Structure formats: C-alpha cells, structure tokens
Amino acid sequence: MRENATLIINDQRYELPIVTGSEGEKAIDISQLRSKSGLITLDTGFANTGSCKSTITFMDGEQGILRYRGIPVEQLAEKSSFMETAYLLINGNLPTQKQLTRFSVMLNDNSLVHEDMQQFYQNFPRASHPMLILAAMVNALRSFYPELQTLEEEINITVTRLLSKVRTMAAMSYKISRGHKVVYPRPDLSYCANFLNMMFDSPVNPYQIDELLVDALNIFWILHADHEQNCSTSSVRMVGSGRVNLYAAISSGIAALWGPLHGGANQAVVEMLKTIDSDGGNIQGVIARAKDRSDPFRLMGFGHRVYKTYDPRAKIMKKMCHRVLGRLNRQDPLLDIAMELEEIALKDAYFIDHNLYPNVDFYSGIVLRAMGIPTNMFTVMFAIGRLPGWIAQWKESMDDPEWKLARPRQIYIGPTQKDYVPMNLRENTNSAKN
C-alpha cells in the first residue's frame, strides 16, 4: 500500500510519497516539493537527509547494527577475509571459491605500481602527511592508466587496480618516507600478509609473517570496509555524480576521510592518549575539557552521527586489542588509559545524556600500534579498508536508474542587491566628507 505524508503550508496541503526500505526505514520523498510549493528543505550536515537508495550497507544507530549486503559485520569479522568481504560489497554476493581465486589472481596481476610513479614520492616535502600523498597518487593513476574501451572492462580493471595498487602505494610511501628500499608485492602472499611484508620486510631484517597480525589486519579492514553514506563515501558519490573517473572520485574520498572528525580520528585518539600519558594520566582533566562548551576540544574516538549506542565495530576492535596485546605479551600504557577513560566517560552524566559511546577509532589505533604501524599512517590504514565500500557505492550510483547530478540547494542569507562601487571611489568620497 502506498503511504503519503501530508504537509500543510498556509492552509495549502501537499501530498508527499513515503518511501519504505527493506528494514522498514521510512523517508518522505521531497524531490517534487519545490516544483509544487516553491519550498526546499534545510538540513545542515544532511543529518536527516537520505541522499540515495542503497542495497549495500544497513546500519541501525539505535540498536548498534551494521550489516554488509545483509550479513552482520560480527559474522564477517569472525569468518570472512577482507578480500572476500570486498568482493561481497562490490559484487553483491559472497564469491564462490572459483570467483575468489580469479579475484586474487587479478589483484596479483595489478599489484605493481608504475616505476615512474616512485619518482613522485621523492618530490613531496619530507613532512608531508601520507593521506595527502595517497590522495594525490590515486588521482595521478588516471594519467598512467587511461580509460579502457568498454565501461564494464573499465570498471572491473580499475576496481582491481585500485584495491591492489593503493595497498602497494601505501606501503611504498612508508618505505620511501623512511629512506628505505621499496619492497615489492609477492604473489604467494595473501592481501593482508602482503601489506605487512611490504611495510616491514628489509634485506637486513627479513619480516616473519605472524598469522595473528594477519588475522587482526583482516578484521581491522573488514570493520572499516563500508559505513553507508558517511562523509567520505558521500564525497565519492557526489564527486562521481559529475561522471568523473573512479580514481578522481576515490581521491576525493581519501581527502574527506583525512579529517579528524572522520577517519583522522584514529590518529587523533592516539595523540590524545599520549598527551594524557605525558601529563601524568590526567583523565579527569580531559573529561572536563570535553564537557566544557566553551572549549572546542572533544573526546576523540567518542560519539557518532548515527550510533547512539556502542558502535558494534568498537566492541570487536576492543576485544581484538586485548587479544593482540595479550598474545604478543605486550603492555601498552595507552590501552590502560583508554580503558580507564572509557569507564569514566560511560558513567558520566554528560556522556550518558548525549549518547556518547566509543566509536571504531577509540581502540583501533592501539591495535595498529601493536602491529608496528606508525601513527601518521593510521588514517591511510582506514582508507585502504574503506576502499571496497567507496568502490561499491560509486558502482551502485553509476547503475542507479534514479541517478542525478548531486547538486544541493541553499538558503541565501547574504546581502541583497547593491550596486558596484569601486573601493577607491568609496575611499575618495569618504575622505572628501572628512
């Protein structure tokens, strides 16, 4: 049965269709509102606006649910690999063994980065942030791999190129930043093992693959693989809506993810924990600052636009954090601080009233530290994980029969019409008056 919402403006009634999703979520379709009433809707930050219909990821922020193509993220983290999950997100179904093998072969075939691109790395100033370098390099891929003949071929090859090369480029940027020799991908290693090997292997100190860390990395990337219409994914869809190539769209996603309120939070959390540590463990001081409205400081790794309960990814990440540190028999003072901070915050009236719980970034940095990943690479790790989601969302938008160029409207609050008067004329008039 079709449902409608009735909007009454100055006694005029407007019937607006209600759209219902497969999990019962409802939205008022206001796409015809302006042509019927002359009005637009205003929703800063799109906090209550659906930008598309999607079949990829389901989130319920009140109940703490996250599913990729219907499968709970908890099950994927326990049973799947990052590449299988990437295939699921991009293609809609889990792969058969044959499909997965073919996918792995394609990833291996496309894992090398054009040697000429290595020179780019040398020309960035030493202190450049790896997210900046990654965004630039991904965009530059288009000049090395121009458009293919058919859209299908273009999509399939570009997708595998991106998944494979972004991982290689990330490890390469780390090696070059340290002045070390680049380690090339090995076809005999899995996606995650390959990454760790490219990051940490060296001629003087061969890297021993540790299955615990490979497993942890698989889970880390599965948990980051998609999160429906978040800031970076919306950027990918928005930039892509102008029908730009996939590399450029993904590059925009990387730039959007970099911010500390989004993917950059994992770096910001560790920096915050380190500051608490060096200040002698003043957790109460940090909590007080986070609650102080006159202070822009926020408790990093806490709060989420959608989750109003514990982020399901954070639960898995916290468990993994304990497992990795326990198995490596390693103490990390930052973990102790994080746990104490969480305990205090979850009992504090401010955090309870504002529904502020740890998000995925609260414990992820500690896991990455245990793997040996440097802090400035944390957000790059998030970006590699989010790639399948960005690609899946871009692909879905390309095939969307309801596709439209993304072009929000605004309410103008600037000056009304005034005449052009050059500044020097104004000054002369003013000085004449004086």
Asked if residues 391 and 90 have their Cβ atoms less than 8 Å apart, the reply is yes
Q: And the tokens for 175? A: 């090696």
Tell me which stretch binds ligand CMC (CB under 6 A): 16-24, 120-128, 296-304, 407-415.
296-304
Smallest separation (angstroms) from ligand CMC to the CB of 193: 26
381 binds ligand CMC (CB under 6 A): no
Q: Are strands 12-20 and 3-9 parallel, antiparallel or unpaired?
A: antiparallel
Cα separation of 363 and 265, whole Å?
A: 11
Can you give the C-alpha Rg of the chain in angstroms? 24
- What single-letter amino acid sits at 173? S
Examine residue 357 and tell whether it contacts ligand CMC (CB under 6 A): no
- When asked if residue 300 is in the footprint of ligand CMC (CB under 6 A), the reply is yes
- Does the footprint of ligand CMC cover residue 227 (CB under 6 A)? yes
Q: Which of 67, 69, 175, 262 binds ligand CMC (CB under 6 A)?
A: 262
Q: Bridge-partner residues for 8, per DSSP?
A: 13
The amino acid sitting at 25 is: E
Quote the least distance from Cβ 106 to ligand CMC, whole Å.
29
Least gap, CB of 344 to ligand CMC (angstroms): 13
180 vs 297, beta carbon nearer ligand CMC: 297
Q: Could you tell me which stretch among 147-155, 244-252, 275-283, 354-362 binds ligand CMC (CB under 6 A)? A: 354-362
Q: Name the CA dihedral angle for 91, 96, 98, 99, rounded to a multiple of 10 degrees.
A: 0
Max Cα–Cα distance, the chain, nearest Å? 85
- 3-class state of residue 16 by DSSP: strand
Looking at 38-150, list the stretches that DSSP marks H as alpha helix, in order from N- to C-terminal side: 73-79, 82-91, 97-109, 115-123, 130-144
* Shorter beta-carbon distance to ligand CMC: residue 304 or 369: 304
β-strand 26-28 against 57-60: which pairing, if any? Answer: unpaired
Nearest-5° Cα angle at 180, 176 to 181: 95
Residues assigned a catalytic role: 304, 361
- Judged by CB under 6 A, the number of residues near ligand CMC is 20
371 binds ligand CMC (CB under 6 A): no
Closest CB 177 distance from ligand CMC, rounded Å:
25
C-alpha distances (whole Å) from 21 to each of 5, 41, 53, 288 are 16, 21, 8, 41
User: By Cβ distance, which residue is nearest to ligand CMC?
Assistant: 303
With binding defined as CB under 6 A, does residue 361 bind ligand CMC? Answer: yes
230 binds ligand CMC per the rule CB under 6 A:
yes
- Residue 356: φ, ψ to 5°: -105, 115
Q: Does 263 bind ligand CMC (CB under 6 A)?
A: yes
Please say which residue, 69 or 304, places its beta carbon nearer to ligand CMC.
Answer: 304
The residue among 301 and 385 lying less far from ligand CMC, judged by its C-beta, is 301
Three-state SS at 218: helix
Q: In the structure, how many helices (H) and strands (E) does the chain have? A: 19, 6
Query: What is residue 6's three-state secondary structure?
Result: strand
Of positions 360, 367, 370, 391, contacts ligand CMC by CB under 6 A: 360
Please pick, from the candidates 299, 338, 341, 371, the single residue that binds ligand CMC as defined by CB under 6 A: 299
Question: Which listed range, 115-123, 127-135, 257-265, 412-420, lies at the site for ligand CMC (CB under 6 A)?
Answer: 257-265
342 binds ligand CMC (CB under 6 A): no
- The structure tokens listed for 63 are 């109940």
Q: Which residue of 64, 130, 253, 303 would you call a contact of ligand CMC, by CB under 6 A? A: 303
Asked if residue 323 binds ligand CMC (CB under 6 A), the reply is no
Binding site residues, ligand CMC, CB under 6 A: 227, 230, 261-263, 265, 290, 298-305, 354, 356, 359-361
